Amino acid sequence: MTDPPGLLRRARAMSETELQEDIRVLCKHHGLAVQHLTDPRRAWLSGWPDLVIIGTAVLFVELKKEGEGLSPDQRDVRHRLIAAGQQFRLWQPKDLLRGTIHAELQAISRVTL
């Protein structure tokens, strides 16, 4: 898949906070419940995902700036969640700009648009 010109430049300019806010708005639009762990240092389990999104399915989502990857603790939690039959996503700004996040949220939405 070829990205439109400038997509990667725009993705690199987007902060994790901006990505999170755009996802919060999309979740509201799709009637999804979303929980954000505001201070990961308070999590009992190091590496817990940034968001838990609930619709017709539950998504555990880690947000990262463009080009960043998961820490070892985050990879461990991802493995545990997937082993328990849960859905885990790593979303970056390019996923928002490509429409991937919107499509995944729409797929678990209870709202008919």
Count of domains observed in the chain: 1
Does any domain span residue 57?
A: yes
Does any domain span residue 113?
A: no
| Confidence class for position 19, pLDDT limits 50, 70, 90 | very high
The helix (run of H) or strand (run of E) holding residue 89 is strand 87-91
Does any domain span residue 87?
A: yes
pLDDT tens string 20-58: 999 999 999 999 999 998 776 777 888 999 999 999 999
- What count of other Cβ atoms lies within 10 Å of the Cβ of residue 19? 23
- How big is the CA angle at 65 (ends 61 and 67), to the nearest 5 degrees? 105
Lowest mean pLDDT among 44-53, 54-63, 77-86: 44-53
Angstrom distance (rounded) from CA 54 to CA 28? 11
Instruction: Give φ, ψ of 33 to 5 degrees.
Output: -85, 135
AA identity, residue 96: L
Does any domain span residue 1?
A: no
Does any domain span residue 15?
A: yes
The residue range of the domain holding 76 is 7-107
Percent of the chain with pLDDT over 70: 96
**What CATH number corresponds to the domain at position 28?**
3.40.1350.10
Residue pair 63/50 in contact (Cβ under 8 Å)? The answer is yes
Task: Give the pLDDT confidence score for residue 42 in this predicted structure.
Answer: 75
